[in-house]
Amino acid sequence: MGAVRFTFRIAALVATLVAALVLHGVWRLFRLTSPWPRLFLGLVARIVGARARVIGTPLRRDVVFVSNHQSWVDILVIAGTTGSAFVAKSDLRSVPLVGWLCTLNHTIFVSREDRLGIAAQIDQLRAALAQAWPVTLFPEGTTGDGTTLLPFKASLFEVLDTPPTGVMVQPIRIDYGDAMSDLAWLGDEPGQVNATRVLRRSGSFPTILHFCEPFDPATFDGRKAIAAEARRRIETR
């Protein structure tokens, strides 16, 4: 049955992708703001089994979401719920199809090794915040096991050292409950293996997004203090 579920979900994903690309193209043809990248990611979340439940009130713009990171499904449910763009590792851009889809959702690609390019990356993030969509950071820098919140990398908060006027920080805690063991990355498990395992999984799973109370980063003394406050709110949720 696992193989049947995998085949069915792949077929549904392909059909959804084709339909979303066609509709996205129509919206762009008429120079309209396209909702299809967000809707596509939300539909993909449902196809793989996620059933999102929102607790709290997410801000719609002028916000940096700061979330714990447990699975690639995180991106689907956050994007589908909020329309958020994401900050992602630069090597994701070169992944066939996935990298291109990321660009449609305004992904900001960063390289931690490129110290000389930090200023340009910050400018990219500031430009995104000036648009009509939120931006999400995963400050743990990698996926966790769902039980432990890893230390936050304060360098990712550099854009908020002198935050753009009016921009708030809103922490998110994602909780997959009992399904976490099925979704989590197992050690050095390749991405394709993890995705196959998730797509073969039976049934759906609840995905709770706790949107914590937002705070003004301008009232904190630098990126380390902002990172610590975001982490504290996620940890105590």
1 vs 220, residue with greater confidence? 220
In a domain, 32, yes or no: no
pLDDT (average), residues 35-54:
92
Q: How far is it, in rounded angstroms, from Cα 192 to Cα 209?
A: 25
* Domain membership of residue 61 as a residue range: 38-236
pLDDT of residue 12: 94
Tokens of 30: 């008429």
Q: What is the structure's pLDDT at 230?
A: 96
Digit-coded pLDDT (tens) for 167-225:
999 999 999 988 988 888 877 778 788 888 899 998 899 999 999 999 999 999 989 99
**Is pLDDT at 117 greater than 60 in this prediction?**
no
| 22 belongs to a structural domain | no
Residue 3 lies in a domain: no
When the pLDDT of each residue in the chain is averaged and rounded to a whole number, the result is 85
Q: Is residue 25 part of a domain?
A: no
Q: Which of 55, 57, 86 is nearest to 69 (CA)?
A: 86
pLDDT of residue 111: 64
Into how many domains does the chain fold? 1
**Nearest by Cα to 71 from 227, 198, 205:** 198
**What residues contact residue 233 under an 8 Å CB cut-off, 6+ apart?**
171, 212, 213, 215
pLDDT of residue 108: 78
| 56-102 tens-digit pLDDT | 999 998 899 999 988 889 988 998 999 888 887 766 666 666 666 67
